[in-house]
Amino acid sequence: MLRNLTGSLLEHEAIRTTVPRAKELRRYAEKVITLGKHGNELEVRKVLYQENLVRKLMFDIAPRFADRQGGYTRILKCGPRQSDQAEMAVIELVGRVGELRPKDDGAKSTESKTKKANDEEPKTQ
């Protein structure tokens, strides 16, 4: 099951599953990505059987994380499933195009704070 979930995660770069599965998947997927980073294609082929996923991992995903020591995935909880109320989550690769949680830009937040401060004028009577 984890091999199939990892294949789907690498293919789509974000999948929706239950929280316990996402937490287990994170451990497994991070090990596979680390294998891809070290460039050991034979070891990756033992874990992932699909040729297109091995190539995508080796030439697309692993180079993105070359300077990163870990933490390649992010889990975002998205509420209960309607049918059986199981807690659902989205697990995604960090830094993917169109990620669900955008980067927090420090310049924008300080800019908006100073703008708000300038807009407020002291009240005089």
In the chain, the domains with their CATH numbers are 2-109 (3.90.1030.10)
Whole-number average pLDDT of the chain: 83
pLDDT of residue 28: 93
Helix (H) or strand (E) holding 29: helix 19-37
Q: Report the amino acid identity of residue 20.
A: P
- Whether 19 contacts 88, CB under 8 Å: yes
100 pLDDT band, cuts 50/70/90, is low
Range scoring the smallest mean pLDDT among 32-46, 54-68, 70-84, 110-124: 110-124
pTM over 0.85: no
Sheet containing strand 73-80, strands side by side: 14-18, 87-93, 73-80
Phi first, then psi, for residue 78 (nearest 5°) are -130, 25
> CA–CA separation, 38 vs 63, rounded Å?
10
